[in-house]
Structure 1
Amino acid sequence: MSILDRIVADKKELVADAARRMPLNQLCARIADTAWTARGFAARLARPGPGGVNIIAEVKRASPSKGDIRPDLDAARCAAEYAAGGAAAISVLTDGPYFKGALEDLVRARAATDLPVLRKEFIITDYQLYEARAAGADAVLLIVRILSLSQLDGLLALTRELGMDALVEIHSAEEYTIARAAGSRLIGINNRNLATFDTDLGTATTLAARMGPGEIPVAASGIHNRRDIEANLAGGIFNFLIGESLVRAPDRVAFLKELMGGAPAAKQPADGGI
């Protein structure tokens, strides 16, 4: 069984446990009682930002392949630094067992900035979308590799109904076909194969070249300096989701500015991990 298979199997049990602790009707009541205005995640990524790019900066403490990255990371402080550095949006890993995240991290990150916030999670059920909305998420990640076309269709429909955007993640031409069939518009291209953990920076530009009008690509994984970004810009991609290298940066504000074309910051480690 691959790491991804284990994560999904464990996620089913965790979601079932969460639903027992807080039934869906209670979660819906919480949503109804909470003031919330969508911050337009997809709209922020529709056109290039400063330096010709948009960066979705990620709050990430650990990964199953890398282990601890910054286990003591403060989500609110990290998000505020990302906002100061010019990030277009914030991504928050909310998986606990494998990434040491929590929904509370998303709540705190959103409260610390006025940027749209993505729940990055292994979403396989409607319940998780209601969780995301109750926590204040502006968008959710939907991974084609772990969903059937019918599941993706249903989750996309509910995401829209709840007022959120969806970043649909693919890694192959076959997965792009599924994403397109479901009507996905914001498409994340993971340069890392989640089965083997091999990373190929050409994956994003190759798949982006297949995309049609109205489809917005977002490159993720293995992007850790301005040179990598410029290579993607040449391939028509101006949106990037960057995690580990940002979290590890000694000066996140300066590093973000460098990624967007500003003066170089201190040397950064390569981004990696699932």
Structure 2
Amino acid sequence: MTILDHIVTDKRKEVELRKSIIPISQLEGSVLFEKETISLVDNLKNSTTGIIAEHKRRSPSKAIINQNLNVFDVAKGYQDAGVCGMSVLTDGKYFGGSMDDLILARASCQLPLLRKEFIIDPYQIIEAKAHGADVILLIAAILSKEEIKEFSELAKSLNLEVLLEIHNEEELNKSIMPSLDMIGVNNRNLKTFEVSLETSKQLSTLIPNDFIKISESGISTIEAIKELQPYGYQGFLIGENFMKTDNAGESATAFIKGLQ
């Protein structure tokens, strides 16, 4: 079993438990459920830098990145830095995140928020909306074409934008559909955890221009972004690079200034 298989197995158990504790009707009654969503797509289209900054405490590949940064301060710092959106890891077991992180981020900034999660059940999409998310992540590697269609259409009905993550051409081919807004290429091989920007370059020409193209993982330098921009990428997801510093917001500010 790969690490992704382990994560999905644990996620199924976790979601069943959450469903038994908090019914959908309670989620739909949340104050944030009625909140108007903020568009990440619009921000990316109108940006010259396209930075989506992430809050991530740890990961299976890097263990602890930073346990000390306060979500509230990170979100405010990212907004002050001028990022296009913020990605919030909500997985607890493998990434040290929680739904509370999403709520805290929502309370401290007006950025579009992406719930970064291993979504395997419609419940998690309703949960995302109820906790202040504007965008959800769907990972093609763990979903069937039918699930991608069902989940993305549910998200759109809730006015959530959809970022679909792919790792190869096969995943892209099964996933292209009108209910997606953005297609993200993960440069990290989920089996070996090796990272290569060549993945984004190779897949760029295969992604229809109807979708915003986002490159994810392994982007730690301004040079990497300048290398990828000619391939049509408008969004760049950066987490570890900012989170490993003492002040993620200041780190993002300096990075964006260097890009402009």
Q: Is the 8 A contact 2:181 2:212 kept in 1?
A: yes
Query: Amino acid of the residue matched to residue 57 of structure 1?
Result: A
Report the equivalent of 2:9.
Answer: 9
Report the equivalent of 2:93.
Answer: 97
Please give the residue correspondences for 1:258-273 in structure 2 after superposition, counting only pairs within 5 Å.
258-262=254-258
Superposition deviation, residue 66 in structure 1: 1.2
Alignment partners' CA distance in 1, 2:201 and 2:217: 13
- Look up the SS of the partner of 2:118 in the other structure: coil
Q: Is the 8 A contact 1:229 1:259 kept in 2?
A: no
Superposition deviation, residue 183 in structure 1: 4.7
Report the equivalent of 1:42.
Answer: 41
Query: Amino acid of the residue matched to residue 162 of structure 2?
Result: A
Superposition deviation, residue 165 in structure 1: 0.5
The one of 72, 75, 84 equivalent to 1:76 is 72
Q: Does 1:121 align with 2:117?
A: yes
Query: Amino acid of the residue matched to residue 65 of structure 1?
Result: S
Q: Does 1:230 align with 2:229?
A: no
Superposition deviation, residue 233 in structure 1: 1.2
Q: TM-score, normalised by structure 2?
A: 0.94
1:45-80 deviation per Cα after TM superposition (whole angstroms, max 9, x unaligned): 2x251xx22111000001112111112321111111
The one of 116, 129, 153 equivalent to 1:157 is 153
1:112-165 deviation per Cα after TM superposition (whole angstroms, max 9, x unaligned): 111110000000000000110100100110000000000000000100011100
Alignment partners' CA distance in 2, 1:174 and 1:253: 37
Q: Does 1:138 align with 2:149?
A: no
Report the equivalent of 1:245.
Answer: 241
Q: 1:124 to 1:260 in 2, by over 3 A?
A: same
- Look up the SS of the partner of 2:67 in the other structure: coil
- Look up the SS of the partner of 2:95 in the other structure: coil
Report the equivalent of 1:18.
Answer: 18
Q: Is the 8 A contact 1:41 1:139 kept in 2?
A: yes
Query: Amino acid of the residue matched to residue 36 of structure 1?
Result: K
Q: Is the 8 A contact 1:168 1:186 kept in 2?
A: yes
Q: Is the 8 A contact 2:54 2:86 kept in 1?
A: yes
Report the equivalent of 2:213.
Answer: 217
Alignment partners' CA distance in 2, 1:197 and 1:98: 15
Query: Amino acid of the residue matched to residue 39 of structure 2?
Result: G
Q: Is the 8 A contact 1:170 1:187 kept in 2?
A: yes
- Look up the SS of the partner of 2:19 in the other structure: helix
Which structure has more relative contact order (CA 8 Å, sep 6+)? It is 2
Superposition deviation, residue 98 in structure 1: 0.6
Q: Does 1:63 align with 2:59?
A: yes
Q: TM-score, normalised by structure 1?
A: 0.90
Query: Amino acid of the residue matched to residue 37 of structure 1?
Result: E
Alignment partners' CA distance in 2, 1:48 and 1:198: 32
Q: 1:34 to 1:167 in 2, by over 3 A?
A: closer
Superposition deviation, residue 262 in structure 1: 2.5
Superposition deviation, residue 251 in structure 1: 4.3
Structure 2: gaps spanning 5 or more residues: none
Structure 1: gaps spanning 5 or more residues: 265-274
Q: Does 1:87 align with 2:86?
A: no
Q: Which runs of 4+ in 1 moved over 4 A?
A: none
1:61-119 deviation per Cα after TM superposition (whole angstroms, max 9, x unaligned): 01112111112321111111111111110000000011110011011111111111000
Superposition deviation, residue 216 in structure 1: 1.1
Query: Amino acid of the residue matched to residue 22 of structure 1?
Result: I
Report the equivalent of 1:271.
Answer: none
Q: Which stretch of the first structure deviates more once superposed, 77-86 or 147-156?
A: 77-86
* Paired residues, number: 260
Report the equivalent of 1:192.
Answer: 188
Alignment partners' CA distance in 2, 1:236 and 1:222: 18
- Look up the SS of the partner of 1:260 in the other structure: helix
Report the equivalent of 1:208.
Answer: 204
CA RMSD for the aligned pairs? 1.8
